[in-house]
Structure 1
Amino acid sequence: MAITQQDVLKALSYVEEPDLGKDLVTLNMIENIHINGKQVAFTVILTTPACPLKDLIRNACINAIKLMVDKEAEVTVNMTSRVTSARGNNEAILGGIKNIIAVASGKGGVGKSTVTSNLAVALANSGAKVGLIDADISGPSIPVMFGVEEERPHVFRTPEGKNLIQPIEKFGIKLMSIGFLAPAESAVVWRGPMASSALKQFITETDWGELDYLLIDLPPGTSDIHLTLVQTVPVTGAIIVTTPQKVALADAQKGLQMFRQPQINVPVLGIIENMAYFTPAELPQNKYYIFGTGGAQKLAERWQVPVLGHIPLVQSIRESGDEGQPEVMKTDSPAAAVFEEVAQAVAQQVSVRNAGLEKTKIVPIITQ
């Protein structure tokens, strides 16, 4: 009996996407089915370029065809990706951006900007289109971490007569920071409304184009900047960066609670524990938990969110940031592999969030 497209789709309807908990056919992840005798080829559209379950899904598809259609079938599974989004195509602001991710911390000094920089590069290396806004107006560090301190964005006029800022590009990532607009040695001493206005300009008056992910590196704590963000654009989800010790976790909990407040209601994608353990370069297999252990896990269990990863405290991460070459770019670095795993976890959680939750709404501005 000849193999039909319906036979293939029926078999693949029994293959489940592990993260989303639904079958590939229901999720519209199967395209371009071609049948030539016993040769069967089709394309699986993954929800993220960073999908770590690619081989698992491919093998499950091959087994389903052989088991339910023809055991002698020659199956070719082509894998590609299309990042999901909970945003509409007609969004007035940042309409070309699929996912807006806030990266926050309860306190300073936990390495949030280092984590954000490496996360952005890791996502871009996986094939995603990525942008990054440095929203820490008073302490911008993204220009240093990307080695673009001396770069200055230019302004151009669109055919519609609107002036837009052209973001700086480095390592395939579009960047915007107050550090590009003020001398590095100058202190930016602004009241809340001025800082909020700058963030709004970075969001609404920058030519971001089409992106899969726009990461927002927020200042520490909870402030006007955080409120401005959620009142300007619908945020897909938030990531909380912390270190293991008790004082950092107490502040991280406050940052997490802010996004969980009913009037804000931004999904928390997970927690990243930075400086989780110290590993000396000469003893790469050794781990010394100088800040304690289990802190992020306890916080995650309390608030029922996942731990996205544990980043080690190693000298090369600091050196890479100072040199403007994020650690994840080093092919021989164990820490780079950890950042790649964290990026995969983030991409997974974005896909799960977009499949299972309603889209985030802009927080209304209430005036008395």
Structure 2
Amino acid sequence: MSYFFLVDYFSQITVPEFKQNLMNLGWIKLIKKKQSFLLVQIDVPTFALNSLQFLKKSIWKHLFKCLKATPILVRIHITSNLSFLSTNNVNTGIKNVKNIILVVSGKGGVGKSTVAANLSLSLLNKGCKVGLLDADVYGPSIPTLFNLTSKISIFAQQENSNVSLEPIIRNGLKMMSIGFLVDTSTAMIWRGPVISSACLQLFHNVQWGDLDYLIVDMPPGTGDIHLTIAQKISVSGAVLISTPHNLAIADVIRIKSLLRKTNIDIFGYVENMSYFICQKCSAKHYIFNSSEKNNYLLNIPRIIDIPIHNNLNFLHSSFEYLSSFIGLATYKSQKSNTRNISILD
């Protein structure tokens, strides 16, 4: 049994959720073959745990088919892990957060908070440990989206001179917003340095604990909060949200420029409110610009188009796809190939 045979074998196993085979996904970590013994270690990332049972069945099915005439002892060892990418966030409240994802848009009202909330829930449903941080200090939306607008209690702990806040937890999702701490019915008349300090406290002075993902709902524009996070927080990457309208696209181009200048990876953009589906004829109607033109203007990968719909359950599959895309984008080994597989003869 040659190494090339094994590579070809694992290349035939496609994971439906991601539409890629095990070799392209980079999940094969170790192949050890010695005479009549074969050990294969597969590292399945946390966001792909829903595919675990399929993988086990598919691997043994293919292996039995290929090796049924070969007297060999086979051991398949499957582990689950998500590598740390945010390595510079040490000695802070986010030191155990593996990936920090910014959801950004230069324009307000394009559905950024809705996408951030549903991306968080979708990753949570995949088995990940997820936090959602509302960094929009002037206009926090997370309390409204999760129906937490009434007075709620935020508990704090003091250790030496440091005070840390406990996040609000709903169905396993950890959340923190300035809207939990102040009266959101009044205007936040704060200057830039105060805003920056308050934003950093939402990162460092909250007991986020061990998280696979911290999704950050960013404010519109390209102001102090964006610069502060870019300079002080180690970010895994950003997802841009836009509608197809000219004004939204123009602002997204500006925020893209800021992310490039601050060396933050851009995973791609989501075109929200891209079209609506007629309830009578089921046809798609595009009410704004041509998406092809927007692709040319932005020159970044378009992850998915989300239609206008008043029922978020209808959009479940869209957010499932988005969470799978983000999972792969943040996984260190997604670009791995056969060269980084440990082969022990």
1:129/1:210 contact within 8 Å kept:
yes
1:85: which partner in 2? 84
1:119 alignment partner in structure 2: 119
Q: Which residue of 1 aligns with 2:322?
A: 342
Supply the AA of the counterpart residue of 2:327.
A
How does 1:67-86 map onto structure 2 within 5 Å? 69-71=67-69, 81-86=80-85
1:47-79 CA-to-partner distances (Å, cap 9, x unmatched) read 242478768866774476346644578989786
1:294 aligned residue (288, 291, 296): 291
What is the letter of the counterpart of residue 45 of structure 2? T
What is the identity, as a one-letter code, of the residue corresponding to 1:87? S
Cα pair 2:156 2:163 within 8 Å, conserved: yes
Whether 2:287 is the aligned partner of 1:307: answer no
Deviation at 1:296, TM superposition (A): 7.7
On the 8 A contact 1:48/1:351 being kept in 2, the answer is no
Letter in 2 for 1:172: G
Could you tell me which residue of structure 2 aligns to residue 154 of structure 1? 155
Gap change, CA 1:193 and 1:344, over 3 Å in 2: same
Residue in structure 2 matched with residue 188 of structure 1 by the alignment: 188
User: Structure 1 residues 47 and 107 mapped into 2: Cα distance closer, same or farther (>3 Å)?
Assistant: same
Q: How does 1:1-368 map to 2 (within 5 A)?
A: 12-14=6-8, 15=10, 18=21, 21=24, 24-25=27-28, 27=29, 44-50=42-48, 61-62=59-60, 65-66=63-64, 69-71=67-69, 81-88=80-87, 91-93=90-92, 94-150=94-150, 151-158=152-159, 162-261=162-261, 264-280=262-278, 282-283=279-280, 285-294=282-291, 298-299=295-296, 303=299, 305-316=300-311, 327=312, 333-351=313-331
Cα deviation, residue 251, structure 1: 1.1
Give the structure, 1 or 2, with the largest relative contact order (CA under 8 Å, sep 6 or more).
2
Unaligned runs of 5+ in 2: 12-19, 337-345
What CA distance in whole angstroms lies between the structure 2 residues aligned with 1:8 and 1:213?
39
Secondary structure of 1:114 counterpart: helix
Secondary structure of residue in 2 paired with 1:315: coil
Query: Counterparts of 1:284 and 1:100 in 2: how far apart (Å)?
Result: 42
Inter-partner Cα distance in structure 2 for 1:254 and 1:90: 27
Give the SS at the match of 2:284: coil
Amino acid at match of 1:306: P
SS in 2 for 1:201: helix
Would the alpha carbon gap of residues 68 and 176 (structure 1) be closer, same or farther in structure 2, given more than 3 Å must change? Answer: same
**What is the Cα deviation at residue 221 of structure 1?**
1.4
Greater strand proportion: 2
| 1:184 Cα deviation after fit | 2.6
Q: Secondary structure, in 3 states, of the residue corresponding to 2:182?
A: coil
CA deviations over 1:10-38 (Å, ceiling 9, x no partner): 8655535758847544x45x89x9xxx99
Give, as a single letter, the amino acid of the residue that structure 2 aligns with 1:96.
N
| Range moving further from structure 2, 249-258 or 206-215 | 249-258
State the shift of 1:135 in Å: 0.7
Q: 1:311 to 1:8 in 2, by over 3 A?
A: farther
1:355 Cα deviation (Å)?
Answer: 5.5
Q: CA deviation at 1:180?
A: 0.6
Partner of 1:4: none
Measure, in 2, the Cα distance between the counterparts of 1:89 and 1:265: 14
Please list every run of 5 or more consecutive structure 1 residues that lacks an aligned counterpart in the other structure.
1-6, 317-326, 328-332, 357-368
Report how far residue 105 of structure 1 moved. 0.1
Normalised TM-score (structure 1) = 0.75
Q: How many Å separate the matches in 2 of 1:115 and 1:181?
A: 23
Q: Secondary structure at the match of 2:285?
A: coil
Identity %: 32
CA distance in structure 1 between the aligned counterparts of 2:122 and 2:257, rounded to whole angstroms? 28
Matching residue's letter, 1:309: I
TM-score for both structures, normalised by structure 2: 0.80
Aligned counterpart, 1:364: none
Aligned residue pairs total 322
Q: What SS class does the counterpart of residue 138 from structure 1 fall into?
A: coil
Q: Is the 8 A contact 2:88 2:234 kept in 1?
A: no
Contact conserved, 1:100 with 1:216, CA < 8 A, in 2? Answer: yes
Contact 2:83 2:332 in 1 (8 A): no
| Aligned partner of residue 336 in structure 1, secondary structure | helix
Question: Aligned-pair distance for 1:299?
Answer: 4.5
The 1:241/1:186 distance shift into structure 2, 3 A limit, reads: same
Question: C-alpha deviations, 1:107-126, integer Å up to 9, x for none?
Answer: 11111001101111111111
**Structure 1 residues 90 and 179: CA distance shift in structure 2, 3 A:** closer
Structure 2 CA distance for aligned equivalents of residues 188 and 306 of structure 1 = 36
Q: Is residue 27–residue 44 contact of structure 2 (8 Å, CA) maintained in 1?
A: no
CA distance in 2, matches of 1:185, 1:224: 23
CA apart distance, 1:129: 0.5
SS of the equivalent of 1:49 reads helix
Deviation at 1:265, TM superposition (A): 0.5
RMSD: 3.6
Shift of 1:170: 1.4
145-154 vs 8-17, which moves further: 8-17
Secondary structure at the counterpart of residue 276 of structure 2? coil
